[in-house]
Amino acid sequence: YSYSNGGKRVVVGNPMNITQSGTSATNIKSTTIKKMLTIYVPAGSKLDIETKYSEVQLPAGIGDVFMDITNGSFEAESLNKLRLRSKYSNANLRDIKEAEIEFANGRFTANNIDDLDIESKYSTIEMASAKKIKLVSTNDEFEVEDVTDIRGRKNYGNLRITRLTGSIEMDGSNADVKIRNVGANVKLIKINNRYADIRIPLRDMKNYAIDFLGSYSTVYGDFERKAVEPTEEEKKEYASLVQSMINTSGTAKISSTNGMTALNIPAEPSKATAGTIEARTAPMPGTVGTTGTISGGTFSGTLSPTVVQGNRVFRGVNSTLSKFTANIGSGSGLKVQMKCQNCTVDFK
């Protein structure tokens, strides 16, 4: 921010070594001076600030703020609308009605935000409360105490919610999601994740329905599960075409194109080089026809996507089928729709 007054130029930014003579300022190396600039503006003003290596403090009563800050800090009381772009900086805010934020490599804290749209990475994000959050988060520690509705994408890091009162819709991978309290009026929990630890306590809920689809996952919950055959769309999404690998020891080794764990199917050596051999798996919900080659020959059979993608894996005494539904009460209340691969999910 800069302005001229009677030919004197004042610059707010990186503290510089300056010497002043008349109306001119020149850099020197002998003395360091840090200037503090106080600007008085009418209540409800709109501010557009671009700054580096500075500390910016805004009082209550400011209207809209457009802030671009690098390597600094930003503090504000109540704001009507905030547009913030921040790199390597910290922000400490109180109450905001509407905020659109790009935040990287810093720490963001706020008391209350009514409507938040945030894209963040490699940061710590903390809020006391929010009505609506839309997020794109990468490798953040993201924590909010009370939120009504939250949706977006979270890759890596953690998402912690103390109390959810409306809904959550979240996609991503390698992002742990932990909700401490699910409010009685929550209508939807929709999560599509991979390689994650998810904790959503439903022990106090009396009326809800779960629809779960996942591979290599373990689910804990106080409900009776009903195995369901995956839909054709789900089969296409979760079941990949298999490839054969030549094995002359009498075993046809098959691995999926998705890089899932390989599986072995016994084959008769005499049929491994000619004709058609049969590859079968234990009957499980959802099947897909597969073909492949072994030493120049072919085989065909029926492979369950449960096996192809490991949708049924035993981890201790509690293992999860590839797809199941569960109802508590009439099932007309909270809807839980979850797809999670290589996850540990705790509904207790």
Would 232 be classed as within a structural domain? no
- Count of structural domains within the chain: 3
Task: Return the pLDDT at 41.
Answer: 81
Eight-state DSSP code of residue 57: E
Q: Does the residue 198 lie in any domain?
A: no
Let me know if residue 348 belongs to a domain: no
Residue found by looking up tokens 């491994």 in the block: 272
Residue 81: inside a domain, yes or no?
Answer: yes
Interatomic CA distance for residues 194 and 191, integer angstroms: 10
List the chain residues with pLDDT less than 70: 1-33, 238-321
Whether residues 156 and 122 share a domain: the answer is: yes
Q: How far is Cα 242 from Cα 240, in angstroms, rounded to an integer?
A: 6
Q: Are residues 109 and 5 in the same domain?
A: no
What pLDDT is attached to residue 81?
96
Please tell me the pTM assigned to this model: 0.69
**Domain-located, residue 323:** no
Token pair for 108:
């963001």
- CB neighbourhood size of 281 (10 A): 16
Model confidence over 17-59: pLDDT tens digits? 444 444 444 444 545 667 788 888 888 889 999 999 999 999 8
Same domain? For 102 and 138 the reply is yes
- Supply the pLDDT for residue 86: 98
Per residue in 49-68, pLDDT (tens digit) is 999 999 999 988 888 999 99
Tell me: do 95 and 54 sit in the same domain.
yes
Residues 34 and 92 placed together within one structural domain of the fold = no
Residues 6+ apart with CB under 8 A from 100: 82, 83, 84, 117, 118
Instruction: State residue 269 phi and psi, 5-degree precision.
Output: -55, -35
Same domain, 74 and 108: yes
- Asked if residue 207 belongs to a domain, the reply is no
Burial (CB < 10 A; 0-12, 13-18, 19+), residue 23, is: exposed
Name the DSSP class of 270.
G
